[in-house]
Amino acid sequence: DTGVSQDPRHKITKRGQNVTFRCDPISEHNRLYWYRQTLGQGPEFLTYFQNEAQLEKSRLLSDRFSAERPKGSFSTLEIQRTEQGDSAMYLCASSSQPYNEQFFGPGTRLTVL
Partner 1 sequence: AQKITQTQPGMFVQEKEAVTLDCTYDTSDPSYGLFWYKQPSSGEMIFLIYQGSYDQQNATEGRYSLNFQKARKSANLVISASQLGDSAMYFCAMSAAGGTSYGKLTFGQGTILTVHP
Q: What residues line the site for partner 1 (CB under 8 A)?
A: 31, 33, 35, 40-45, 48, 55-56, 89, 91, 93, 95, 97-99, 101-107, 109
Output the smallest distance, CB 80 to partner 1, in A. 24
Identify which of residues 75 and 95 has a Cβ nearer to partner 1 in the complex: 95
Contact 34, 23 (CB under 8 A): yes
Query: Least CB distance from residue 73 to partner 1, whole Å?
Result: 18
Beta carbon of residue 28, minimum distance to partner 1 (angstroms, whole number): 16
Nearer to partner 1, 80 or 87 (CB): 87
d(CA 8, CA 57): 23
CB count in 10 Å sphere of residue 90: 23
Residue with smaller CB distance to partner 1, 9 or 81:
9
How many of the other CB atoms lie within 10 Å of CB of 96?
A: 15
Counting beta carbons within 10 angstroms of the beta carbon of residue 94, is it exposed (0 to 12), middle (13 to 18) or buried (19 or more)? buried
User: Which C-beta is closer to partner 1: that of 19 or that of 34?
Assistant: 34
Exposed, middle or buried by CB within 10 Å (0-12, 13-18, 19+), for 40? Answer: exposed
Min separation Cβ 108 and partner 1, Å: 11
